[in-house]
Amino acid sequence: MSYQVFARKYRPQVFDDVLGQDHVVQTLKNAIQQKRIAHAYLFVGPRGTGKTSTARILAKSLNCIHGPTVNPCGVCDSCREISQSISLDVLEIDGASNNSVDQIRELRDNVRFAPSRGNFKVYIIDEVHMLTQQAFNALLKTLEEPPAHVIFIFATTEPHKVLPTILSRCQRFDLRRIPALTIAKHLAYIAAKEGVDLAPDAAAAIAVAAEGGLRDAESMLDQLVAFCGNTVGEKEVLEVFGLTSERIVADLTRAILSQKAAVALAIVHQQAEAGKDLTKLLGDLLAFFRNLLIFKIDPQSLREEISDQARASLEELVAVVETQRLLRLIEEISEVEATIKWASNKKLHLEIALIRAIHTLSEVSLENVVDALENLVGVSHSHAGAETKPPPAHEETAIKESTKSGVAPKRIAEAAPSTKSDASEILQEERSVQTSEILTESSASMESVWERVVQEVRNRRPLIVSWIESATPLSLENGTLKLGFPKNLSLAVESLSRPNNQKLLEEVVGQLLGGSCRLEFELREDLSAAEIKPVQSQPMDPMEDFKKDPMIQKALEIFKAEIHSGR
């Protein structure tokens, strides 16, 4: 027998041989077992993912002497003829070369004849999207109501070119790209069967280069065996197909994230001098950044896509860059992808793209500026709060007074051997309990404390004081102050619930109550804007309030800016 290439020799013969398409295989198996066989199927997917092979296996399952069965025997006359493409009952038609309306009309006339041997007459039309519109129209009626013994199976890589009227008459199955690890394992299996010493790194490189197409990977291995003999290493794979190793791509990524432009440019120069395809290098770099982004969000999602070496590189780099900056890098490098393909000087375009990407890492985003300003304001507020805290001597006096008055004597006695900080925590807790008792017993005391809260917020952050004035203290229990708002003031609750605003309010209330306090906001039907009596205060100019806000003042200082009211 003449030599057969690996792609034909190791073509799947039964459903269990189909790799990476479990969702399609299981559905077809169930349909055969339940005798729910459709009259038209459409297999969609990239090249080399098993569309035509799956169609042949389905035809064998239907026409096997033991069929319909999910496990065709492969030895009966019908199975052997289908495997050799000589069956009179299973006709494979190339849609690219048989796309005229006359050829489809001839097919339509022949479907009336019964199968010669098997149970069904199966028409497999590959690249069906190449049919002309007139050919599609000639097939419509037959496709919708074919004879009981006829089954159509279409395969295409471009389903958007198939008429919607054809798509609606078929059961569609989308075949996925096969994971790289699955391809690498299958290549190792073929190498073992053929007596070829295939290095794991070489199998991984072929699998990545195949981009999810098993047939492409098998053809590449076939070519490498012819070139290298019975020993195939990663070096040979990279030389023959002009590929870049995962290690080089990881080193280039590491140089970019470390903002070492000279190292990144040296790697590009080295690859260009070695004759590597820089367009492919750019694609590999973007793919690595994509994997880094996905690994940062969900590491488990890549378990079938990347090798152990690539996973180790991702684990090393994932903590080096933030997600926002990683997205910015991908966006910056992707801009050159459309131009480098047609550029005469690909190296120049790639170098400029990398330098721009590295510069984006040193840029300060607006989010960073806002965060920095908020941190500065938080620090200034913490210093201001520290000045208002009572001195340690006052805390010790308060502890002694609490002990004499009989307030939690057992707890104070137990805390005596503890450190000073422990005593302070107990004191704050006792103050919170005492204050809670006072406010729950006297609404007058609650109003008095709340007026002081409003005034303190007015001094610190006047921009939110209008929302505070709309609040009504409801209760104080277990260190939690509940504030009520009218039903129509959901915007006030939303504004005050922001982390920086709520933190300020809890800090102010905690200082006035002498302990930590947590705030809860509640919209109430029984409250209305008319019932709320805002705390009386001197009218102030809103623009003056805005200018006096510490954050605004610090921003003006940093940017050396001025505020113009526009009056």
Domain boundaries, the chain: 6-174, 182-362, 385-402+413-554
pLDDT above 90 for 557? no
Which pLDDT band, with edges at 50, 70 and 90, does 559 fall under? low
Q: Which of 224-228, 522-526, 551-555 has the highest mean pLDDT?
A: 224-228
Work out the average pLDDT over 506-514: 81
CA separation, residue 31 to residues 24, 70, 83 (Å): 11, 9, 22
Select 6-174's CATH number: 3.40.50.300, 3.40.640.10, 1.10.4030.10, 3.20.20.70: 3.40.50.300
Cis, bond preceding 542 (omega within 30 deg of 0): no
pLDDT above 50 for 5? yes
Select 182-362's CATH number: 3.40.50.620, 2.60.40.420, 3.10.20.310, 1.20.272.10: 1.20.272.10
Distance between CA 464 and CA 551 in Å, rounded?
A: 13
For residues 116 and 461, the model is more confident at: 116
pLDDT at residue 244, as a whole number? 81
pLDDT above 80 for 107? yes
pLDDT above 90 for 394? no
Q: What kind and span of H or E run contains 475?
A: strand 472-477
pLDDT above 60 for 514? yes
pLDDT above 90 for 434? no
Distance between CA 89 and CA 115 in Å, rounded?
A: 5
Work out the average pLDDT over 463-474: 81
Work out the average pLDDT over 131-140: 88
pLDDT at residue 61, as a whole number? 93
Which pLDDT band, with edges at 50, 70 and 90, does 18 fall under? very high
Cite the DSSP H helix spans in 407-521. 409-415, 420-441, 443-460, 465-469, 490-496, 499-513
Distance between CA 470 and CA 278 in Å, rounded?
A: 63
Which CATH fold topology does 385-402+413-554 show? GMP Synthetase; Chain A, domain 3 (3.30.300)
